[in-house]
Amino acid sequence: MHGFRLTCLRIGYGLLVAALLFTALPLIASSHAAQDWPQFRGPARDGHAPAATELLIPWPETGPAERWRRPIGNAFSSIAAVGNALYTGDSDESGDYALRIDAETGKTVWRTRLGDLFENSFGNGPRATPTVDGDTVYITSGGGVLAALAAADGTVRWSIDLKETYQAEMPHFGYASSPLVDGDRLLVETGGETDTSAALTALNKKTGELIWRSAAAQPAYSAPIRLDLHGQAQYVLVTKDGVRGLDIADGGLLWQVEWAPEGGIKPPPPLVVGENRLFVSASYDIGAMLIEVTGPKSAKALWDSKVMRNHFNASVYHDGVIYGFDNATLKALAPDGGETHWAKRGRLGKGSLVYADEHLVVLTETGTLLLLEATASGYVEKGSSKAMSGRCWTAPTIADGKLYLRNREEMVSYDLQRAAPTTSAETTAALTAYADAIGGDVRQGIRALKITGTQNFNGIDTPLTIYHRRPNHMRIEIGLERGSGTIAQVTDGEAAWSQLIGSDDPRMMRRANRVLDDDAAARMIEEMAAFDDALLQAAQEAGPTAERVGSETLDGREMHHLAVTLPSGRVQHWFLDAETHRPVRRTTEQANRRGTYTGTWFYDDFRAIAPGVVVPFYVEREDSQHVRAHIIDRIEVNPSLDDALLS
């Protein structure tokens, strides 16, 4: 079948890179037991990482090592982590979803629709965090659909519309309460003031059948916790009118402390801050309160103050100190009396924080990541790096020494136990020169490309068309010999597939019309689908890392040699002309069914496609058996691309 070759072309900010689709990387399994974060605010719902977490302290100047970064749909759900699986929520125009993500690669394992899209001016999608219990994941959509999903494949085991089933009151900002599993029970804030509604509802976790409902109360966007105080097992919940202790047996009211009944937005759950003492805090000028549970059925407020006003995220408690965000001021408080040990303002916004290994891991509202000592003596910073951009209202997750962050558009993972590679001054200079030489800053405005030209393989020319759209959507169409059809290869950044167009040859259809396996798809996405090439990503500190190896002479020209390490661990070697700083050659170790080999790419005929932006119009790939050349005729910048081409 002459001419049938699955060949891909990649354009990263100006570099067209050909590579084979069938190459794959081996899977590497973790050799140590995971430390899980299975629910909202961690193992004990108190914002503490697992006890065995040991951090790299201090961070290097570049911050912790980035493992991977990926796009994600709109939502405010935080991330639950169990073993090698991450669970969170997202959304698109078709609805609210729960999804499972591979913790090692960031790739989606499954994505299950929960219900209609919840829309809000501050952000769409789910607010609640999934709760993982054994082989089941529990999550509530923004619109109030509570679902039990199979952890393995996302199959819906049962689901309930809380509004319809229990006359729950629809909160203006959506259902935000994260479910709590306690034995065979699943607890969820429902809320409402009718005769048939309840503040808290207990369900059979296996079937979703009702066990009991507590007395009615309007919801406050909070989540329940379970405590044993004075020999009394109870669920503690913040509602609009105050804080309630409920009997786990039947939901009966044990005690109640009134707290700002005029304020109905109190998302942070109660925080245990000593024996029989609870701290609650909320924004909108509500403030904070310290409650003492004085007996099995009694409690009282010890103080009520505006000293702390948690907005989206709760405080944490360690060694006699409360740490949290008083709106946009990070504070350390003494529980007795609420005295301030220290306060820090400036470019933090209404951030979030978690505790790990005697330190606070803080995410500011605009995406700066901080490592602080958990001490009452003052603000002591042990590391800082820019992790994300945009609105960052979701609290971090730490599991197995890895940090997981998300906002409404992307998700990123860092290794908190390994240093990020340091970048020397020579490396920084080379990366900066490269980015300038190809128009790195101007390229930020390029959202899509259409590339047309010719592929020459074994001396035969065939038509070539490439469609590319940020962040990592790509479609490559390569004509087959003698006009026998076209092979299209497509990726949406998560999966990759190929299809045969213009031919009904059954043998070719069987080989061409297929979805790539996970390994091959991951390689294609890493090698070819990212809109920015790996070297430019390294210059932008967006995942890959680079190191200047030295200078070499190729074909009589001096070259800068840079080694770029991809998130998967594969290494690309780039050779830049020392005078123009444009790429001349790249080599990368490849793998296929026959073993490993070195692929070499050559770049030439650079032309401008926009002011200051140059790309190679000739790219040649060589390995031990073949030479392929791509000769580009035309590149259209920011064309209108049909979504159907890229999905």
The CA distance from 386 to 374, in Å, is 21
The CA distance from 526 to 569, in Å, is 11
Candidates 193, 184, 232; CA nearest to 215 is 193
Task: Give tens-digit pLDDT for 228-247.
Answer: 999 999 999 999 999 999 99
C-alpha triplet 57, 61, 67: angle, nearest 5°:
75
The CA distance from 216 to 246, in Å, is 12
Question: What residue type is 317 in one-letter code?
Answer: Y
Q: Which of 280-294, 394-408, 492-506, 515-529 is predicted least confidently?
A: 515-529
Q: Which of 85-99, 210-224, 341-355, 561-575 is predicted least confidently?
A: 561-575
Q: Is the pLDDT of residue 319 over 80?
A: yes
Candidates 484, 480, 433; CA nearest to 457 is 480
The CA distance from 86 to 265, in Å, is 28
DSSP-based three-state secondary structure for 520: helix
- What Å distances lie between residue 105 and 57, 526, 581, CA to CA? 25, 11, 32
Region 487-512: mean pLDDT is: 78
The CA distance from 428 to 575, in Å, is 15
Q: Which of 385-389, 448-452, 502-506 is predicted least confidently?
A: 502-506
The CA distance from 104 to 32, in Å, is 14
- What Å distances lie between residue 226 and 180, 219, 223, CA to CA? 8, 18, 10
Candidates 445, 448, 408, 411; CA nearest to 643 is 448
Question: What residue type is 387 in one-letter code?
Answer: A
458 CB burial (10 A radius; 0-12, 13-18, 19+): exposed
Task: Give tens-digit pLDDT for 158-183.
Answer: 999 999 998 888 888 999 999 999 99
Q: What residues contact residue 133 under an 8 Å CB cut-off, 6+ apart?
A: 38, 181, 205
Region 113-140: mean pLDDT is: 95
- What Å distances lie between residue 326 and 331, 333, 635, CA to CA? 7, 10, 52
C-alpha triplet 363, 369, 375: angle, nearest 5°:
80
Confirm if 216 and 238 have CB atoms less than 8 A apart. no
Q: What residues contact residue 431 under an 8 Å CB cut-off, 6+ apart?
A: 423, 535, 538, 539, 546, 562
pTM above 0.75, yes or no: no
Pair of tokens at residue 564 = 């770029």
DSSP class of 645: G
Q: Is the pLDDT of residue 26 over 50?
A: no
Q: Is the pLDDT of residue 124 over 90?
A: yes
Query: What does the pLDDT read at residue 357?
Result: 95
Task: Give tens-digit pLDDT for 58-100.
Answer: 998 888 988 889 999 999 999 999 999 999 999 999 999 999 9
Q: What residues contact residue 4 under an 8 Å CB cut-off, 6+ apart?
A: 480, 487, 508, 511, 512
DSSP class of 128: S
**309 backbone dihedrals φ, ψ, rounded to 5°:** -135, 80
Query: What does the pLDDT read at residue 161?
Result: 95
125 CB burial (10 A radius; 0-12, 13-18, 19+): buried
568 CB burial (10 A radius; 0-12, 13-18, 19+): middle
Q: How far is CA 115 from the centre of its chain?
A: 22
Candidates 108, 246, 237, 258; CA nearest to 179 is 237
Query: What does the pLDDT read at residue 597?
Result: 67
Maximum mean pLDDT: which of 18-32, 362-376, 533-547, 597-611: 362-376
Query: What does the pLDDT read at residue 581?
Result: 94
Long-range contacts of 639-643 (CB under 8 A, 24+ apart): 639/448, 639/449, 639/450, 640/448, 641/448, 641/450, 641/467, 641/469
Task: Give tens-digit pLDDT for 412-468.
Answer: 999 999 777 667 888 889 999 999 999 888 887 899 999 999 999 878 899 999 999
Query: What does the pLDDT read at residue 131?
Result: 97
What mean pLDDT, rounded, does the chain reach? 87
Region 320-340: mean pLDDT is: 96
- pLDDT band with cut points at 50, 70 and 90 for residue 599: confident
**164 backbone dihedrals φ, ψ, rounded to 5°:** -75, -40
The CA distance from 205 to 187, in Å, is 9
Q: Is the pLDDT of residue 572 over 60?
A: yes
Q: Tell me the longest C-alpha to C-alpha distance in the chain.
A: 87
Pair of tokens at residue 104 = 């090692």
DSSP-based three-state secondary structure for 257: strand
Confirm if 98 and 87 have CB atoms less than 8 A apart. yes
Query: What does the pLDDT read at residue 507?
Result: 66
Pair of tokens at residue 634 = 């035309």
* Other C-beta atoms lying within 10 Å of the C-beta of residue 262: 8
Query: What does the pLDDT read at residue 28?
Result: 25
Query: What does the pLDDT read at residue 591?
Result: 60
Task: Give tens-digit pLDDT for 1-13.
Answer: 333 233 333 333 3
Task: Give tens-digit pLDDT for 37-62.
Answer: 999 999 999 999 998 899 999 998 88
* Other C-beta atoms lying within 10 Å of the C-beta of residue 282: 26
Candidates 488, 495, 492; CA nearest to 518 is 495
The CA distance from 562 to 133, in Å, is 46
Task: Give tens-digit pLDDT for 438-450.
Answer: 988 888 789 999 9
For the CA atoms of 88, 91, 96, 102, the dihedral, rounded to the nearest 10 degrees, stands at -30
Task: Give tens-digit pLDDT for 258-302.
Answer: 999 998 899 999 999 999 999 999 999 999 999 999 999 999 999
